[in-house]
């Protein structure tokens, strides 16, 4: 399903962006790790990109082979434009994990 943008145009994928369901820096990473181990916290992107503490080698290889840049951000370091896009997508039934 393709959704229209607020201006009515169909979106064009120029650069995929992933936002981790966690804050960055040591404190945010530790809070996510504890939450994930105890069960109340989940991040599908973390499952794909990380194994334990480090990035999965498979992910590093996959990302390097993409024909476009794949940027990733944490909840607290995403640019304002990304935050706005996610709010718009979520308001229209987009998924966030």
pLDDT at 7 over 90: no
Average pLDDT, integer, range 57-61: 95
pLDDT at 95 over 80: no
- What pLDDT score was predicted for residue 1? 43
Give per-residue burial for 13-42: e unless 16+ CB within 10 Å, then b: eeeebbbbbbeeeeebbeebbeebeeeeee
Instruction: Report the distance separating Cα 63 and Cα 46, nearest Å.
Output: 14
pLDDT at 97 over 60: no
Q: Taking a C-beta distance cutoff of 8 angstroms, is the pair 97, 21 a contact?
A: yes
What's the pLDDT tens digit per position in 19-34? 998 898 888 888 888 8
Q: Look-up: residue for tokens 């935050």?
A: 83
């Amino acid at each position: 399903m393709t959704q229209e943008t607020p201006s009515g145009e169909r979106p064009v994928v120029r650069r995929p962006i992933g936002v981790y369901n966690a804050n960055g820096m040591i404190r945010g990473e530790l809070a996510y790790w504890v939450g994930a181990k105890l069960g109340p916290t989940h991040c599908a992107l973390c499952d794909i990109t990380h194994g334990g503490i480090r990035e999965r080698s498979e992910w590093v290889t996959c990302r390097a082979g993409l024909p476009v840049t794949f940027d990733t951000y944490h909840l607290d370091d995403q640019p304002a434009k990304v935050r706005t896009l996610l709010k718009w997508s979520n308001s229209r039934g987009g998924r966030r994990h």
